[in-house]
Amino acid sequence: MSNIGSAGTICIRRARPADAAAIGAVHAETWRNTYAGVLPDAYLAALCPRRLGSAYGQVVLDRTHGHAVFVAVASGMAGGEGGGEPPEVIGFASGGRSRRPALAEGEIETLYLLEDYRERGVGRRLMRAMAAHLKAIGCRSAMLWVLRDNPTRWFYERLGGRLAAREVIRFAGLDVEQNAMVWDSIESLLAATAPAPDR
């Protein structure tokens, strides 16, 4: 758990079924912010947090192929008591064994974080939680897919991800390019996401 100024604390934990609605809301808001101008406005406007939440309810319970979901939860100074803000899911990550084992053994399938909480180390902590999980289920390498035009793709490059493949997919009525970022050693991803030492 780490302090985020006077706003309170943020913790990373395994997702619970009760988190599904909040996860769906984060998904919708993140996509609308990240993919504005990249994906069609009509598609982004039609994203339904309630429908997404219902789908994530099943995702949270799915443990096949080593699948797991982690959430970042922000709490007020009083943790929801004595006038503090109640805990709120502000980001999440999911993944498991890779759907493309020729590229890597483990895969981070999603990493979404509300815009107000970016540049605070939360995305890095979610990536570390996923890397630790993938190592625990025996994966020695990791990968993820990111749209070429995703403005936050630099984040994965900064963590040492290597561009390993490109492919064009049909999505939301468009042909879009997605890139596979690979960490050939899960240890390299764990090292890149390690907490900074206290000075």
Chain position carrying tokens 């020695």: 140
CATH of the domain at 39: 3.40.630.30
Closest to 165 measured CA to CA, from 100, 75, 114: 100
Inside any domain, residue 185: yes
pLDDT tens, the chain, 199 aa long = 343 443 479 999 999 999 999 999 999 999 999 999 999 999 999 999 999 999 999 999 999 999 999 999 998 744 444 445 678 999 999 999 999 999 999 999 999 999 999 988 999 999 999 999 999 999 999 999 999 999 999 999 999 999 999 999 999 999 999 999 999 999 999 999 998 765 4
User: CA-CA distance, 124 to 116, in Å (whole number)?
Assistant: 15
* Domain assignment of residue 65, given as a range: 2-192
Q: Are 21 and 49 in contact (CB under 8 A)?
A: yes
Inside any domain, residue 197: no
Total domains in the chain come to 1
What are 49's two structure tokens?
Answer: 């947090």
What are 44's two structure tokens?
Answer: 């982004």
